[in-house]
């Protein structure tokens, strides 16, 4: 969908933006629910916000949409049969708003076929549609290893003992063109003990049975850190990102409990946006989360000195997400203050940081 802005004005936006303007200027016809120094959060259907963002002005779209489940969760999960058509109503604009070297990182959960211990393949169908119908390139499949995932569906795992536990979710990295901006030096990990030991002993140049040539320099550990896909010491398969999601006592959850506000039930860990924002963006770049929930993405982006935009349709979740910006000034819109709905539960000390 076009915003009516020509390519020149989009470029001007991007340039102007990089010099320190606020990202809410990209969406001048909508009032954010709240803003911070670097971002704006909208109480809106993401399609309304996406449609207004100029072409090519976003560096990274990172999100976890409601998944297609065979039972309805409380925040608008769409039935599997309709899921792809539903998601593509967002995806076309996601592609359009991305810069040519921009990326789209999509965290999506798998699902089961009703009544049987077999898996739905809806998420694979979505991947194919995003590439073949919308025009994204699949840059890399990553996986979020979540050891805290519940043994679901209980019927097949804990009652009839047929299936084993699921403990991964898919994190697909798409790019607008085949050449996304990315820098794995920004996400290096510590060297494993094994690698340091290898380096101390040294290794001979050799060719493995697989045919891979191992050079003597292979063992050098002076490159500043280990490339993440090689983190094998935790028995984590290649490309697997190991992150628990047990932030039961972080500032956000504590504040929600104290204020009597509902804690978002499907947050991803801050480590996930932290990893991809570092990998795929630079300081002052713009990150968008169209399904922001508790706005983990916006808060991480703010901390990493990126600009951000967030959309969320549930006011309680969006109001509570202000707790993620402890120590930063949060400006609530006049409308949000007037309606006062979930915010009345916010303690005066919390509101002192808001307008």
Ligand X SMILES: C[S@@+](CC[C@H](N)C(=O)[O-])C[C@H]1O[C@@H](n2cnc3c(N)ncnc32)[C@H](O)[C@@H]1O
Q: Write out the residues near ligand X by the rule CB under 6 A.
A: 45-46, 64-66, 75-76, 264, 266-268, 290-291, 293-294, 296, 311-314, 317
- The residue (of 13 and 291) whose beta carbon lies closer to ligand X is 291
| C-alpha–C-alpha distance, residues 138 and 107, integer Å | 14
- The residue (of 127 and 266) whose beta carbon lies closer to ligand X is 266
Q: Which residue number is nearest to ligand X in terms of Cβ? A: 293
Answer for the pair 355, 337: CB distance below 8 angstroms, yes or no: yes
- The residue (of 195 and 270) whose beta carbon lies closer to ligand X is 270
In the complex, least distance from residue 324 CB atom to ligand X, rounded to whole angstroms? 9
In the complex, least distance from residue 27 CB atom to ligand X, rounded to whole angstroms? 14
Q: Which among 52, 9, 16, 12 is positioned nearest to 32, based on CA atoms? A: 52
In degrees, to the nearest 5, what angle opens at C-alpha 294 toward C-alphas 315 and 73?
75
- The residue (of 267 and 307) whose beta carbon lies closer to ligand X is 267
Answer for the pair 74, 30: CB distance below 8 angstroms, yes or no: no
- The residue (of 46 and 346) whose beta carbon lies closer to ligand X is 46
In the 8-state DSSP scheme, what is residue 249? T
In the complex, least distance from residue 166 CB atom to ligand X, rounded to whole angstroms? 16
In the complex, least distance from residue 251 CB atom to ligand X, rounded to whole angstroms? 14
Q: How far is CA 247 from CA 265, 287, 296, in A?
A: 12, 23, 12
In the complex, least distance from residue 191 CB atom to ligand X, rounded to whole angstroms? 30
Q: Classify residue 183 as exposed, middle or buried by CB count within 10 Å of its CB (0-12, 13-18, 19+).
A: exposed
């Amino acid at each position: 969908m076009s915003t009516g802005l020509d390519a020149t004005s989009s470029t001007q936006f991007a340039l102007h933006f990089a010099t320190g303007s606020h990202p809410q200027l990209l969406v001048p016809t909508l009032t954010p629910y709240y803003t911070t120094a670097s971002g704006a959060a909208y109480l809106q259907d993401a399609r309304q916000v996406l449609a207004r963002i100029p072409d090519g002005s976003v560096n990274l779209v990172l999100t976890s949409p409601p998944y297609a489940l065979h039972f309805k969760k409380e925040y608008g999960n769409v039935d599997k049969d309709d899921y792809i058509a539903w998601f593509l109503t967002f995806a076309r604009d996601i592609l359009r708003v991305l810069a040519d070297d921009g990326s789209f990182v999509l965290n999506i959960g798998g699902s089961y076929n009703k009544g049987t211990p077999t898996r739905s393949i809806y998420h694979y169908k979505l991947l194919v549609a995003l590439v073949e119908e919308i025009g994204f390139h699949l840059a890399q499949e990553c996986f979020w290893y979540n050891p805290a995932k519940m043994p679901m569906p209980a019927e097949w795992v804990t009652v009839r003992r047929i299936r084993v536990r699921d403990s991964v979710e898919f994190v697909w990295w798409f790019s607008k063109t085949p050449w996304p901006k990315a820098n794995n030096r920004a996400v290096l990990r510590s060297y494993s003990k094994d690698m340091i030991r290898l380096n101390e002993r040294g290794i001979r140049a050799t060719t493995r049975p697989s045919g891979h040539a191992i050079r003597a320099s292979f063992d050098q550990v002076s490159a500043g850190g280990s490339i993440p896909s090689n983190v094998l010491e935790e028995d984590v398969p290649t490309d697997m990102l190991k992150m628990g999601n047990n932030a039961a006592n972080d500032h956000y959850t504590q504040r929600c409990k104290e204020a009597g506000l509902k804690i978002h039930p499907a947050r991803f860990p801050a480590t996930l946006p932290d990893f991809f924002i570092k990998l795929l963006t630079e300081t002052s770049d713009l990150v968008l989360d169209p399904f922001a929930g508790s706005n983990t993405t916006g808060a991480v982006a703010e901390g990493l000195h990126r600009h951000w935009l967030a959309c969320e349709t549930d006011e309680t979740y969006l109001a509570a997400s202000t707790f993620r910006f402890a120590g930063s000034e949060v400006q609530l819109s006049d409308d949000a203050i007037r309606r006062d709905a979930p915010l009345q539960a916010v303690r005066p000390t919390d509101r002192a940081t808001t307008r």
